[in-house]
Amino acid sequence: MYDFEFERPATVADAVAALRTEGAQVLAGGQTIIPTMKNRLAQPVKLVSVGGIADMSGVSVGDGCLTVGAATCHADVAAAAAGAYPALASLAANIGDPAVRNRGTIGGSIANDDPASCYPAAVLASGADIITDRRRLAADDFFLGMFETALEEGELILEVSFPIPDAASYQKFEQPASRFALVGAFVARSGGLVRVAITGASDSGVFRWREAEAALSDDFSRSSLNGLALSPEGMISDIHGTPEYRAHLAGVLTARAVEAA
């Protein structure tokens, strides 16, 4: 490691002010920033910890939405969302291991936008809104590519608002060592409209499978996916799977998610 400043503000206003320092970065659960700092892949001059800001933690339900504070850890999402949004609760309960679930946060996960993380699929499939200290961003406008979002320098995620769907399910094929999604599929149906988000598969990060959405909006059944297939072009290729394997697996997991939903 190396020398850096550490600040633990008690309010959102203080956190925003601290982030105006050039080279400052947010510290939420530390599951990404700390390992990258240890490996000298990131060298912020200041870490601004948001873990002590009460207004950024917790889960609430109202007006058909489930709202999660950005500093809420995965374990708390799993417990608090179980009644209102079981698919989201199940997703959170199966992230990483107990240490990760009790430290990692939803805000940190979506801000990092790892192409194999789980929360971006839930945010995109749910049509959630990301509320920052500056604006309200729709999920479709938030994720721009691998490790890339619409967040501006110093912008702080405060909460994520999930419209609660009529039916939903997340199905993940885990990389056994990390429990990241080798591929994951989140399906959410609200009224007659269906959204399908795929994570872990594409070089460009999480994406919507619009052909499947159209088919499932007409007929929300596994059979409606017959004959549909994702192209392997642009899919991730690594020691865990070929692009063809990931494209096929995305279809299998989407069908399972429809059945489970």
Q: What is the mean pLDDT of residues 160-174?
A: 97
pLDDT at residue 50 in the model:
94
Q: How far apart are CA 67 and CA 131, in angstroms?
A: 10
Residue 36 confidence class, pLDDT cut points 50, 70, 90: confident
d(CA 245, CA 71): 35
Global pTM reads 0.94
Query: What average pLDDT score do residues 218-241 get?
Result: 96
- pLDDT for 178 beyond 90: no
Contact of 99 with 64, CB cutoff 8 Å:
no
Per-residue pLDDT of 6-19, as tens digits, reads 999 999 999 999 99
Residue range(s) defining the domain that contains residue 194: 167-260
Same domain, 42 and 143: yes
Same domain, yes or no, for 95 and 179?
no
pLDDT digits (tens, 9 = 90+) for 58-109: 999 999 999 999 999 999 999 999 999 999 999 999 999 999 999 999 999 9
Q: Which of 163, 189, 216 is the last residue of a domain?
A: 163
Predicted pLDDT of residue 3: 85
Provide the CATH number for the domain around residue 73. Answer: 3.30.465.10
Residues 224 and 132 in one domain: no
Instruction: Tell me what pLDDT residue 2 has.
Output: 73
Model pLDDT, residue 1 = 62
Same domain, yes or no: 144 and 246: no
CATH of the domain at 190: 3.30.390.50
* 201: pLDDT strictly greater than 70: yes
Phi and psi at 208, nearest 5°, equal: -90, 135
* Residues 195 and 74 reside in one and the same domain: no
Query: Is the per-residue pLDDT at 176 higher than 90?
Result: no
More confident residue, 127 or 42: 127
Q: What percent of the chain has pLDDT over 70?
A: 100
Q: With a cut of 90, say whether residue 231 has pLDDT above it.
A: yes
Give the Cα separation of 46 and 55 in Å (integer): 22
